[in-house]
A = this chain, B = another copy of it.
């Protein structure tokens, strides 16, 4: 396997006892040295001997044993469900990870696909995380929250479009996206607004709330919203475009930029002028939207920077038991270009 020369048939995994033996000290001393325990004075010579022994053996402490002894871990569990993560989410996860690492937490992503909400909660609880940040997928149930809390989790936090009762919530309220898009279209004088609903399974989670936000804003202004199911295929877009004029719409919020590009192309191919007859706006502000003609208007989404989520988690872990907090993360701004 590994081709390093010095490896005297070490069959089993080295433990701190092996290190102690090799260094000629007790296991306690090994622990003191390797953890730089300040409450105890150890001679420099002993320290060196211990460290050398450890590195000779390739000793690495056993995290499970350690946290078993300690009675707690610093693991923050981040379950995943394979809802395909966009760049926004990826950036968020990455920032959360490095921020939490800086606060000395260990972040572990745990793939939970195929489990139902309560099975998943139990599986998570087995790992005894100090905090759980649960994104979308099957929503956490009160039972799940209970299991996690009883298993010692100091903070149970949901992450997603809506909060869940009894847990803290990092809310990325997708309604603001639809709301923002429609507000922009209304400002442009459009009144009969289509809203694309992607038919791909995972995306309903975002599509629905965006529609709700769009509808709410439209109705507040006495305008009308029409849901438009669409699959992410040229054929589906062509069909929609072919019956476009029967719909009598003067604008469309196309869920995101990719669907917007798909639909806009289909509309153009069907001879519908954009934005002349129908305005189009997407979301995500992809670079690619600027390459089309007309350039695609979009809704740019950002995650609020104010209270860094990592610090929130840290605070909740240190002072558990408060009433559930809600933090809104998502900001949306319209980026008008030529298509609307």
Contact = CB atoms under 8 A, between A and B. Distances in A.
A91 to B, nearest CB: 8
Interface stretch (A55-63, A221-229, A270-278, A297-305): A55-63
A38 interface: no
Contacts of A320: 1
Contacts of A149: 1-2
A232 interface: yes
A239 to B, nearest CB: 16
How many copies of the shown chain assemble into the complex?
2
Interface stretch (A45-53, A106-114, A208-216, A330-338): A106-114
Given A150-B13, A291-B265, A142 B63 contact: no
Given A62-B128, A63-B128, A128-B63, A146 B287 contact: no
Interface in A119-172: 122, 125-128, 142-143, 145-147, 149-152, 156, 165-166
A132 to B, nearest CB: 13
Interface stretch (A23-31, A82-90, A191-199, A244-252): A82-90
A10 interface: yes
A307 interface: no
A294 interface: no
A288 B107 CA distance: 35
A195 to B, nearest CB: 20
A3 interface: yes
Contacts of A291: 234, 261-262, 265
A64 interface: yes
A97 interface: yes
